[in-house]
Amino acid sequence: MAGKLPGANAAQGTFQRTLQVTNQVSIDIATGSGGVNVRPGNSSQVLVTGHVKVTNWFGGDVQQRVKKVVDNPPIHQNRNEISIGHITNSGFLQNVSISYDLIVPPQTYLRSYTGSGNQNIEGLRGQLEIETGSGDLKLSDIGGTIRAETGSGDIQIYRIKGNVRAETGSGDIELRGVRGPLKAAAGSGDIAAEGNPTSGWTVHTASGDIRLKLASEAAFDLDVHTDSGSISTSQPITAQDARGPKELRGKVHGGGVLVEVATASGDIEIQ
């Protein structure tokens, strides 16, 4: 379905495809400009809805270009492996923005990249590799391993059971309900994390504050450092080694996994 947008040389359209699958599914998504939303459905099919927008400030039939994408969407399936948005002809997607809404089996292994656009993934139990050049990432109720990266944008990850690696060049990171290993890094931005460090945590930011809220029963070794900022904690630290106001090392509840926290410029608070 395609239609003309009001204003100069812009048109939009929508396509939908239903793909039949069995067992665990692997999906690889790429879009240069556009967002991605994914949520769980039944285990036997993948439902893909694409929202296409074409803008051409130099003339040309934008409606025809939308129709070309809608009639032949960039979706390829090989049994349980699905590729979406991967185009070898760069001219095909020039001035074209495609946003995707997917309903997938809960156990899906998902790789998703956007050049510019937000991504919202919820309710999956498979491994996730999510990346955007410029845009925000929001992941929630995830059962598998997560790798989330954005060049410029915020990252929010809630209620996770697996390993988490979250990185942003410029933006804030917020994590809640972390139960496994954690690596979080920001070039410029604040990091807030809440959970139970049953495995090691590494939390670094070059410029920004760090706030950790850890489970009251958590047992861990603490290593905290800031070059320019303050350190505060309400945790019952024993075997403490302060080494000055900018560094703190010690054990909480007898010690255990290592929780390493560092910022070059910013305050650190651990509760």
Per-residue pLDDT band at 63 (split at 50, 70, 90): confident
Collapsing DSSP states into helix, strand and coil, what is residue 68?
helix
φ, ψ for residue 91 (rounded to 5)?
A: -70, -25
Q: Is the pLDDT of residue 97 over 50?
A: yes
User: 148, 155 in Cβ contact below 8 A?
Assistant: yes
Give Cα 137 to chain centroid, integer Å: 4
Please say whether the beta carbons of 147 and 129 come within 8 A: yes
pLDDT in tens, 120-143: 999 999 999 999 999 999 999 999
Q: Which candidate, 111, 123, 116, places its Cα nearest to that of 81?
A: 111
Residue type, 80: N
Residue 70 structure tokens:
């809608």
Mapped onto helix, strand or coil, the DSSP state of residue 218 is coil
95 conformational bin, left if phi > 0, alpha if psi -120 to 50, beta if neither: left
* pTM check: above 0.95: no
Which whole number is the average pLDDT over 207-232?
95
Residue from 197, 110, 121 nearest 155 by CA = 121
What residue segments make up the domains of the chain, in order of their start? 1-105, 136-271
Q: Is the pLDDT score of 252 beyond 90?
A: yes
Of 99, 37, 47, give the one whose Cα is nearest residue 77. Answer: 47
